[in-house]
Structure 1
Amino acid sequence: MFRLLRLDSRLIKEMDKTLLFSLILLILYGTLNIYLCTKGQYGQFYAKAQFFWIVVSIVVFYIFMVVDYTIIFNYVPIIYWGVVVLLILTRIPGIGVVIKGARGWISLGFCNIQPSEFAKFAIILMLAKKLDEMDGKINDVKNFFILAFYCIVPVAFIVVQPDMGMSMVCFFIVLGIFYTMGFDIRIIAGGLMCLVLGIVLVWNSGLIEHYQKARFTAFLNPSVDDASTYHLNQSLIAIGSGGVLGSTPSLAENGVSTYAAQNVPEVWTDFIFAAIADQWGFLGAVLLLVLYGFLIYKMISIARTSKDIFGSVICVGIISYFLFAILQNIGMTIGLVPITGITLPLVSYGGSSLVSTVASVAMVVNVGMRRKKINF
């Protein structure tokens, strides 16, 4: 066991340092902004909580980086079905916790975890394993139904929570993997139609409360001055307040703070981009996008040079997650897309999101370190 957790110096040389550097900077940048937008009202509470999850993430990162991903290949079913069990537990009263209208959390007493955040990672691993076993033959009818089964099982539990945002994340992860693997474009178009149909069915099923629907559609008419558009309008004002170099904090009753910290509800989670744009201005927002750009560019490079299908699909799935989550999160803060509650990867406050995303990036680093055959 200890031998598996030992990292050889020859593997360290193969590690993509730029990817690792971008990862670290994004996490630190996020934590700094979490502190800045919560210190006036909550002191160091959220910053300390995020730091705790950073420590947990470091341990998780090391494990998923150092253990050869070809060994992890054999344990993918355990990870996948373990996450499915966690999703089932969210439906049990007393274990599952309702937060923001969704029963998608499990209470551990000292904190809550969100299994759906780990589901996206589990889906990527399972699809990568199955596609590797299928030699990438994704257009075979039998193979397609096998892959579809492993996608539908966890997503079904996420839909009934209901968590429309995470359902969309999982869909676009699968879409990215299928498209990259050469899946018939006509079937992909059919899948998009099924997504629309699924949204309509869930929308009219009674699972989604009226206030959640109003929040989801607020971007269509932000000029309406009511509770449904309040979050978006405050976000737009905060982003505009930042200008080019960032706004000057004002003295509020609860301490020195920016407009975003004072007026955008729970700005440290889904709307952290509004806090960044307000605090650091246009240049701060560009810095964030540049860091994401470096991270995604390096992951694409590793995906192209992976020695096997398993490694390539892992990278593609994680790249798809980052691209969709970044576009969706920033898009909803500026009123271009519906508000869905998707966090900004590595930057928003949240333990489950941070740990699962760091584990995902660790797998990419793992694949990159082992692109070449190294004789030990």
Structure 2
Amino acid sequence: MHRMAILGRIKKDLIHWLVNTFENTIFATALLVIAILFESGCKHHQDRYISQQSAVGNDSTFGHPVSVGKIQSGEMDEVSGIAVSRHNSNYIWAHNDSGDDPRLFLVDKEGKLVRSYHLAGAENRDWEDMAIGPGPNSNRTYLYVADIGDNSPSEEILQIYRLPEPEFIPNTSQPVDTLENVEKLEFRYPENRSYNAETLLIDPLTRDLYIVTKYEGQEKLFRLSYPQATSNVDTAELTGTIPFFGMLGGDISADGRMIILKTQTQVLIWHLNEEETPTSITDKIPGRLPYNEEPQGEALGIAPDGSGYYTISEYVGGKSPVIYYYPRITK
């Protein structure tokens, strides 16, 4: 990709963030100018960013999107994280962004809300993503909910909630349930630094958790190795940086061989071989997948069998968010 086109993509992602973060457009414009000037002074990092962007080609693993449904509940007005259920066929887990009750939604793939689950003892300070995968009991699947958002980075201790994935049996329980078996995994970043992050991943092969920052220019990849602490505060390990800007969500496939991350304007995929781990993406060039840019799309989840992935946006302009499915077309 041409250097100026790449800089244009960087600026477009910056504009999306600034407009979404600041209502005062004059202030946003001023910040954008500062950001571009700062970027121009960081030639080494800029060159790495542009070098990686230039090498990214289109990936044909997944096809163009199919609209399979729309979110039908007004309660789900700010969906920021999803996970495709492993225990309940044809359902998707979802949660709202900051300020909502500490609850999870279970929706069918047409967008109908079938059950809400309140997490006992949890708090939704700024839930930004969720993941699904293994945990302490090898016979169970677990949900992980990441309270890792920090728009004006200041939080020293952050939380990830872990709970066994509930089994949904239609017509047998109330529309709202409370889940008691919720563990809090607390952590801090190295040197007590604070970061804004919106992406949580779990390695299904090791049970390690990964957090990807959102607006660091070159996004940082942190690891919380298994077993994560439940009685004290862990310190996340910085494993490297990804020369892409503005990561908003992502997922790792159930076999651990694909990692998909998204920004506001693009979806990227890394293919891993048997010797590679999620940390390998800091040194690998991804491919670019088809993506129908959403109004405020932050949530992405891969189907358990790897047959496709889903994306959902937040409510914008009073329109119900569409559930998009990107089917797999190559092995």
> Smaller-chain TM-score range?
under 0.3
Q: TM-score, normalised by structure 2?
A: 0.27
Q: TM-score, normalised by structure 1?
A: 0.25
**Structure with the larger RCO, 1 or 2 (CA within 8 Å, 6+ apart):** 1
Give the number of the structure whose alpha-carbon radius of gyration is greater: 1
